[in-house]
């Protein structure tokens, strides 16, 4: 029987970057068995579900986002039997499991792409991708001027002179969703994993599947590829993409009708405005889509209020709920983003990150936590060039947008690397080096210190689950002093954040129910957030 409660509407999901979570085999790379071993830790933290980064067979040119087989497990991470054990263990603990699916592009080693390379121009095998003749007298120029998101041109030439499109790297050819065979193949993939019991999918590059059919030149190709989340209007957000999500939603509803267990579709949707974002979460499309504007907002009360208000108006107005996020595997961690560049992450950046966490957990809708966020991990900014693996660095030679710094393996215990992440037997080291200062952030130390980030997140999640004022619903802004943001949730819960550095009078009297730092009654210190229960 179908439950009237939609679990996903106010769920808190923990993003597991599998290769950096916990290594069970001693090879220096995290794996599915390591995730299974870490489930009790996540249960204790209080999350509702996990999102697993890609673990499919892959040459790992982009750490699994170049998929060679959508229905398998790379031996680096385990096998299907281990996946089934992980699913069963998570469900026993009441933890939902979402998989990361990558429908915009595959690996250049995918069998269909190898078949396309062996095929002739105009063949059905090539129609599954974007192959085109080049420009110029000998076809030696790319078919258009598009730039790849990870640097360089978006086209690579093959032996017979044609070119193929890749909006990220040459090892990640883009699928041609105008070929029906592609849609049918992904129908098969979804059903394969739904039949194994998954609770839903996080969809990579959800706005990018369809390209303009004529593949015309861009007016400003460099701007289109300037940032990871920029938008090329010719290769992004084409209207036909919405039919894909209606089709996938119908598949999920079919499975839900069988057993009453709702399956979730949450999209990585990078579009310019909250209003365009809202089109992806209409009742018959995606259940949710990540709202990145909060992640991208500067530490400023007016900026935060603006993006929150727009999301509540445009996205929640569709009947969906906003999906809030402050960190993920593609972005600089909040402790560093909000503060001084000191790698230890102490001081202002840490205080602001703690305050932002309480703010996010008080907002209506769902929230996603990236692994290590609950430990207060800073960005590792001093990785040497010779250990960097991000294809952005390989493509551009620049460190400006690299993502390795937020992907360094988690510290679990001890005073020196590998900090319990891997066994360290035979000199095996984590796939990215952990700095010495990670000892201060190890989970065993965090759990023992009631003042740690971990306890702040755990307490916030417990209250969020226990208090009817939190979770899904509305908020109402309160009048405050400049630099302070405050709102009410439900019947008498107030959340306030001081974005300044000087103390200010609290918007309500009394001792806070929970605060991100020391917060005496009647005062809201700088870079602090607090929750109160009040009669307002």
Q: Which residues are catalytic?
A: 204, 254
Both tokens of residue 127?
């129609």
Burial class (CB in 10 A: 0-12, 13-18, 19+), 159: exposed
d(CA 23, CA 20): 8
How many Cβ atoms sit within 10 Å of the Cβ of residue 79?
14
Report H helices in 260-399.
274-278, 293-296, 301-314, 334-337, 348-362, 391-396
Tokens 């109402």 locate to 476
d(CA 353, CA 376): 8
d(CA 384, CA 387): 6
How many Cβ atoms sit within 10 Å of the Cβ of residue 80?
12
Packing angle of the helix pair 32-45, 453-466 (nearest 10 deg): 70
H or E, element range at 170? none
CB 97 within 8 A of CB 198: yes
Say whether 369 sits in a helix, a strand or coil. Answer: strand
Q: Which residues contact 135 (CB under 8 A, 6 or more apart)?
A: 141, 142, 143
Closest listed residue to residue 331, CA positions, set 227, 442, 411? 227
């Amino acid at each position: 029987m179908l439950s009237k409660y939609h679990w996903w509407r106010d769920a808190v999901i923990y993003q597991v970057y599998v290769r950096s979570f916990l290594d069970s085999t001693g090879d220096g790379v995290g794996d599915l068995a390591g995730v299974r071993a870490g489930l009790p830790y996540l249960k204790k933290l209080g999350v509702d579900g996990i999102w697993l980064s890609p673990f499919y067979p892959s040459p790992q040119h982009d750490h699994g986002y170049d998929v060679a087989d959508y229905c398998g497990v790379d031996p680096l991470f385990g096998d299907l039997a281990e996946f089934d054990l992980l699913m069963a263990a998570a469900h026993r603990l009441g933890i939902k499991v979402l998989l990361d699916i990558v429908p915009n592009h595959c690996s250049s080693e995918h069998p269909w792409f190898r078949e396309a390379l062996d095929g002739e121009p105009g063949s059905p095998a090539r129609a599954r991708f974007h192959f085109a003749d080049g420009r110029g007298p000998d076809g030696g120029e790319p078919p258009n001027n598009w730039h790849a998101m990870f640097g360089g041109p978006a086209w690579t030439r093959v032996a017979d002179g044609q070119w193929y499109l890749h909006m990220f790297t040459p090892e990640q050819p883009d699928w041609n969703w105008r070929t029906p065979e592609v849609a049918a193949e992904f129908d098969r993939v979804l059903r394969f994993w739904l039949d194994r019991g998954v609770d839903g999918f996080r969809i990579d590059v959800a706005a990018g599947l369809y390209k303009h059919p004529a593949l015309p030149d861009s007016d400003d190709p460099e701007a289109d590829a300037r940032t990871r989340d920029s938008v090329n209007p010719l290769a992004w957000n084409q209207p036909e993409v919405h039919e894909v999500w209606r089709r996938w939603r119908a598949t999920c509803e079919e499975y839900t009708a069988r057993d009453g267990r709702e399956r979730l579709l949450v999209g990585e949707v990078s579009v310019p405005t909250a209003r365009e974002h809202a089109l992806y979460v209409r009742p018959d499309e995606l259940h949710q889509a990540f709202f990145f504007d909060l992640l991208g907002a500067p530490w400023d009360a007016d900026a935060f209020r603006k993006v929150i208000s727009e999301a509540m108006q445009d996205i929640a107005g569709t009947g969906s709920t906003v999906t809030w996020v402050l960190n993920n595997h593609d972005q600089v961690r909040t402790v560093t983003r909000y503060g001084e560049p000191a790698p230890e992450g102490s001081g202002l950046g840490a205080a602001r990150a703690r305050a932002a966490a309480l703010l996010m957990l008080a907002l209506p809708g769902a929230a996603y936590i990236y692994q290590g966020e609950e430990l207060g991990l800073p960005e590792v900014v001093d990785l040497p060039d010779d250990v960097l693996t991000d294809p952005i660095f390989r493509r551009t030679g620049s460190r400006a947008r690299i993502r390795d710094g937020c992907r360094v393996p988690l510290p679990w215990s001890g005073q020196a690397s590998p900090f319990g992440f891997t066994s360290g037997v035979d000199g095996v080291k984590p796939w990215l080096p952990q700095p010495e200062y990670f000892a201060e952030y190890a989970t065993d130390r965090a759990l023992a210190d009631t003042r740690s980030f971990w306890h702040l997140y755990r307490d916030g999640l417990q209250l969020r689950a226990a208090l009817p004022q939190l979770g899904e619903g509305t908020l109402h802004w309160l009048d405050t002093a400049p630099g302070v943001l405050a709102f009410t949730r439900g019947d008498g819960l107030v959340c306030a954040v001081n974005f300044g550095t000087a103390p200010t009078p609290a918007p309500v009297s009394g001792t806070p129910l929970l605060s991100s730092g020391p917060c005496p009654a009647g005062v809201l210190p700088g870079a602090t957030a607090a929750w109160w229960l009040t009669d307002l």
